[in-house]
Amino acid sequence: MSGTEEMFDREMVVEFLEESLDQISDLENLLIEFEKNPNNLKLIDDVFRPVHSIKGTAGFFKLLSLQKLAHKLENVLDLLRKEEIAPSAEIISTELSGFTELHAICQRLVNEEEEVIDVEHYNQLIQDIEALSQQKRDTKTEVLLYLNAFQAFEATLPQAVLTSPTFQALTQNVSQLEIIVQKSIEEAISSFLEAFHQFTEKQAPEITNSSDFNFLKKETRRLETIAVTSKKGPTFRKTGDYFYQETDVSGEISTIQEIINLPFEEALPLNTAQRLKDALDSLQQKISDEALTLTKTIQLVLVPVLSGMMEFDQEFQKELMIPVEKLVSLMTQPVKEEKAEAPAKKMDEKTEEKHEVKTMRVSEEEIDGFMHFVGELVVVSDMLKYIGLEINKIPGVRDLEESFKQAHQTFHALSQNLIDSLLKIRLLPVDNLLKKVPGLARSLADKVGKKVRVEIHGGDIKIDKSLHELMDHPLTHIIRNSLDHGLESPDTREAAKKPATGLIQIDVTHDGDWVNFTIQDDGAGIPVDKVKQKALEKELITPEQAATLSDDEAVNLLFLPGFSTAKTVSDISGRGVGLDVVKRNIEAVNGQVAISSQFGKGTSFDIRLPSSTSFVIIEGVNTLVGNTEYIFPVEFMQMAFRPQKEEVFMANDIEVVRHKNRILPVLRLYEIFKIPPESETPEAAILVIVEHQKQSFAVMVDKLLGKTQVVLKEIDLGEQDGEHLQKDILGGAIMGHGNIALVLDIEQLKGHLK
């Protein structure tokens, strides 16, 4: 990359690479969609254009390995869009592998690494892609394949037909075809076709209606295509009669009229339909507006013929007559009429310019710096609120208090609007993250001999850019696990009366300040008994605990480091290997992850994340224990109350409280953090009831200070008496009076329950 940077501005190169990274993920999805709908040639055109652009720009920047790979991929795509090779699972899979390497090269270059790290893999990939280009059937191959079909048909004929004069003439031409297969091939084909038609006219229905003859007839049409190609004479006839505005379109219109008016008894060769499409393609480069729409309409009608689904027969020809006649009439409009409309068109263009959305590129570091300063406004707002409360204590300043209150409310509203606007700048559609999944799933499925389709719901939801980066690894890991150990092989699925193709479904929803991801498959599910057995073998649980574990609790043991039920570890994944890292990364940003599974039906990963990991505003209830303030996040808090003495008692060596027909365990916060409280008796304190994953418990504090909104900041508590206090808090927050309050991690607090 250093050589490139010497010649070009680094920022310009990175901008190209980042745009390419976005495009490549889209290309993978388009290619998978084309595999499902091979008749939709627009899809392959939409893939071809960006790859062509990447190839050209990579060459300009002297990124030669990137250019070479893009060029090889482009060659295959060009053959697909020209229908010179047919789409197959092998072609799609190899092209997807090429896109994966294309993406990896771009990412490495962005990271200032070498273009190619694994040279052997790169060279093999280039060879595999080049091999696809060789699948194109040349003229010689077409003839030889036809001769094979003819020999198979000949073997089915009775002796009377074999000795007939017409068949003798036909076999004589076949012999000539074999002799001169590599020279004067078009002339030989034309001679042969004439003999073939004479032979056909003389045969009885039982011959011409046979399946072997129909197959031979189909192959004959392919020879007709070659014969038509060899005809002399210009494709376009310049008559001077047709102009669009000031552009001569006579050649294109003449060709279109010629083909539409061709007389024929049977289906025309495929090449005729291709000539019509070529003329329409040429015409599109010269026209616009209604005429352009018409050419595209005609091309759409041609798709079934060009894909081999229909024949270019008389009925099809009639269907094209009306749009072609309308197109021809548009080509004869006077030039003056077009010029008269020009001012109106310019006015429209000016109107559109007024609504143009302008964008500019800003570095993420600058936005993060801006967010840091804006975040301080929340602290200042809380300080102003605190000062207002202090002013209220001073007698005789009623007017000052009211003015200050109004100023604070205005400042708070403006700072909140500024924060909201800034957070929106960082929002990106979650589809930018998820669009790589179909290609990844397809590539992995090919490796393990499985079939998969991916459904994504909620792709239009926007999430903070930090979540895109955070979810990239967990998403990849979960998809790998689903393909390797979740979904069954096609045979196994069919034996279980399931569709041969497995399903991975991703749902994204927005819930207030939280974003939820659900990744589920319809595979074999997780064998709970095996999970418990493995946990017992590793001495992670006791037999008594294993007996009381629910299925959901058992499958979540997979999050323990190194836990796996797989007998072997593949190059794709090992169920459980690395899931501890997934859990740790998600929980590091105050998120939650859980697994649920039904054996034989599938597995679901449920991930819950804060809306932003770079700028987190916590709404909560502020409490006091001794001289330290603790904030309970409001989403976990149910209520707070002061218990009666008789409502608190011991049960099985655990302190509990009875509240509205519920018995809840009690945690004394001062004992956990080892600080002196104001009160050590529950009836003189306050109990805060919190809930995490359907488990409720009560936390004892001295006082409730009220609701608050704070910006969460990292804080290091260190160690105290051998206990790591850091795990029990999400972070700290600067309060209005200048002191720091600790935001509690309710899930970690739950771990203190006996």
Q: In angstroms, what CA-CA distances link 293 with 83, 280, 287?
A: 23, 11, 10
- Mean pLDDT, all residues of the chain: 78
**pLDDT greater than 90 at residue 655:** yes
Q: What are phi and psi of 231, to 5 degrees?
A: -65, 140
What DSSP letter does each residue of 289-351 carry, written as one string? Answer: HHHHHHHHHHHHHHHHHHTTSS---HHHHHHHHHHHHHHHHHTT--HHHHHHHHHHHHHHHHH
**pLDDT greater than 80 at residue 45:** yes
Q: What is the pLDDT of residue 270?
A: 53
Give per-residue pLDDT as tens, 91-124.
888 999 999 999 999 999 998 899 999 999 999 9
Between 575 and 619, name the one with better pLDDT: 619
Tell me which residue of 443, 432, 502 sits closest to 472, measured CA to CA: 432
**pLDDT greater than 90 at residue 658:** yes
Task: Tell me how far apart the alpha carbons of residues 350 and 447 are, in angstroms, rounded to a whole number.
Answer: 54
In this structure, the number of other CB atoms found within 10 A of the CB of residue 161 comes to 16
Q: What is the pLDDT of residue 263?
A: 60
Answer whether 454's CB lies under 8 Å from 437's CB: yes
Task: Tell me how far apart the alpha carbons of residues 522 and 502 are, in angstroms, rounded to a whole number.
Answer: 6
Residues making up the chain, counted from first to last: 754
Q: What is the pLDDT of residue 135?
A: 67
3-state SS record for 267-286: CCCHHHHHHHHHHHHHHHCC
Give per-residue pLDDT as tens, 188-200.
677 778 888 888 8
Q: What is the pLDDT of residue 185?
A: 58
**pLDDT greater than 90 at residue 719:** no
Between 414 and 704, name the one with better pLDDT: 704
What DSSP letter does each residue of 654-688 carry, written as one string? Answer: EEEEEETTEEEEEEEHHHHHT---S-SSGGGSEEE
pLDDT-derived band at 296 (thresholds 50, 70, 90) equals: confident
Between 562 and 42, name the one with better pLDDT: 42
Most confidently predicted of 68-72, 302-306, 512-516, 699-703: 699-703
Give per-residue pLDDT as tens, 736-745.
777 888 999 8
Which 3 state secondary structure label does DSSP give 459?
A: coil
Between 711 and 332, name the one with better pLDDT: 711
Between 329 and 478, name the one with better pLDDT: 478
Q: What is the pLDDT of residue 559?
A: 83
Q: Mean pLDDT, to the nearest integer, of 357-386? A: 68
Answer whether 516's CB lies under 8 Å from 608's CB: yes
**pLDDT greater than 80 at residue 715:** no
Q: What is the pLDDT of residue 385?
A: 75
Task: Tell me how far apart the alpha carbons of residues 469 and 464 are, in angstroms, rounded to a whole number.
Answer: 9
Answer whether 510's CB lies under 8 Å from 461's CB: yes
